[in-house]
Amino acid sequence: MIDYSIIIVNYNGSKYFETLFASLSKLLTASIIYEIIVIDNNSDDKSIELLTNSFSKRFENLKVIQNDVNMGFAKANNIAATYAKGKNLIFLNNDTSVDQNFLIEIDKCMNKKDCVITCKLLFFYDFIKLPIKENQKIDLEVKINGSDYIIDNRFVKQATISSDSITCIENSEIYIPLIYGNSSSYEIQFVCNDSIKQLYLSVNDVQLEAVQLIQNAGSFLNEQNEGQDIGFAQPDGLLFNTEKEVQFACGAAFCINKELFHKIKGFDELFFMYYEDTDLSARVKKKGFPIIFCPSAIVRHIHSGSSKNNPRIRFYIFRNQLLYIIKNESYHTIHQELSRRFVNCVKYCISIFFGKWNIRKSLYINSYLSALVLLPYYLFNRLINGGGAK
């Protein structure tokens, strides 16, 4: 009997395959039996060619499913789950690399209690903290081993960021990823107070000073009902080394019993992508199963923050956040959020009428209208099935 089915949705992700499959090839399994299912959403890169002609020959336990159109993340996962022979399903993003003990550690957690396991997601690269002091001004443009890099504000703590520089205060932290290097030594060049500084890191320096930053240690909703990553961009350490119950699993790497997955009818396919993992987690918890963060099941995740600036992705984030609320929160919260967004839409419409158009306003309005179209369907289902918060 197969214990685990690792399900990977792919869309034009061939550039990630070597790293992903290299990590899967090194998995320690003990007596665990697993299969890999890659479902492709009609990619137009070399994904199918590589999967069928290369990786299928290297992995006897690999199954490839081809969709004729892009079904989206939610529906593609549901389709793959119908082909899965494993007792448990592991959903894994294609832009990841798993630790060699990943499967063993998930199995340990799954055998402790009936639950859903969400993994420890680390940013793909290690980081170095720049040596900075209070009142120093650091240019955003740096060089890593001679290649240009713009400091990502996600990895800047307690500082003032302008269009071209960072002004440091007493507790400021700036983390630089160790990219653009085939060796283990690095040279980082940055401008501090208009003077060029050089930071040389030998192999030993990297081993001693490199830190791993958390991408996700479980998820939660903030006061604005926005999905957030627990521990985002914080150094990995004792705080993230304990098993604990969390509010939601992260869709980039989590495990669920197949019978439970089908019992709750899988992912909501109307979500297409984004917030589908949050919605699924809410339905799992309504069935009485906890979401457990498993710190020893480690996954490196590339996690391109810039992708969220893509207009199509922004639309789904705006809309699906509202759909999640309509499906799972109290009627009072639904009324509040619908009213708040209606007021914002009116303001944006007036602004656009007077010539102050931008893409964000348009996406916000369209996402609200799209959610309103689905509102009767979801409210009817709530009445029939008794869903939502009390």
Read off the amino acid at residue 372: L
Q: Which residues pair with 244 in a beta bridge?
A: 293
Using DSSP bridges, classify how beta strands 34-40 and 4-10 pair: parallel, antiparallel or unpaired.
parallel
Contact between 47 and 12 under an 8 Å Cβ cutoff? The reply is yes
As a dihedral over the C-alpha atoms of residue 364, residue 370, residue 375, residue 377, rounded to 10 degrees, the angle is -150
| pLDDT higher at 163 or 7 | 7
Q: Supply the DSSP symbol for 32.
A: -
* Same domain assignment for residues 224 and 118: yes
Last residue of a domain, one of 190, 209, 228: 209
Q: Given the DSSP bridges, would you call strands 291-301 and 244-246 parallel, antiparallel or unpaired?
A: antiparallel
Q: 177, 209, 241 — which closes off a domain? A: 209
Give the closest residue to 277 by CA, choosing from 298, 254, 299: 254
**144 plus 18 within the same structural domain:** no
Instruction: Please write the tens of the pLDDT for every residue from 350-390.
Output: 999 888 888 899 999 999 999 999 999 999 988 887 666 54
Residues 240-275 pLDDT 10s: 999 999 999 999 999 999 999 999 999 999 998 899
**How much is the pLDDT for 272?**
86
390, part of any domain: no
Please write the tens of the pLDDT for every residue from 103-149: 999 999 999 888 899 999 999 999 999 998 888 999 999 999 989 99
pLDDT tens figures, 19-36? 999 999 999 998 999 999
Q: Are residues 115 and 218 in the same domain?
A: yes
Q: Among the three residues 144, 179, 209, which one is the final residue of a domain in this structure?
A: 209
Please name the residue ranges forming H helices in the chain.
Answer: 17-25, 47-50, 56-58, 72-83, 102-112, 203-209, 258-263, 276-286, 311-328, 331-353, 359-385
Residue 11 has pLDDT above 80, yes or no: yes
Percent of the chain at pLDDT above 70? 96
The parent domain of residue 191 ranges over: 127-209
With tokens 């008794």, the residue in question is 386
Kindly tell me the burial class for residue 47, based on how many C-beta atoms sit within 10 Å of its own C-beta (0-12, 13-18, 19 or more).
buried
Mean pLDDT over 2-25 rounds to 96
Kindly report the CATH number assigned to the domain that includes residue 34. 3.90.550.10
What pLDDT sits at residue 306? 44
Do 188 and 117 belong to one domain? no
pLDDT at 367: 95
203 and 228 share one domain: no
Share of the chain above pLDDT 90, in %: 82
Answer yes or no: do 194 and 52 share one domain: no
114 plus 221 within the same structural domain: yes
Bridge partners (DSSP) of residue 184 are none
Phi/psi at 15 (5° precision): -65, -15
Q: List, for residues 76-104, the tens digit of each pLDDT value.
A: 999 999 999 999 999 999 999 999 999 99
The answer, yes or no, to whether residue 63 has pLDDT greater than 90, is: yes
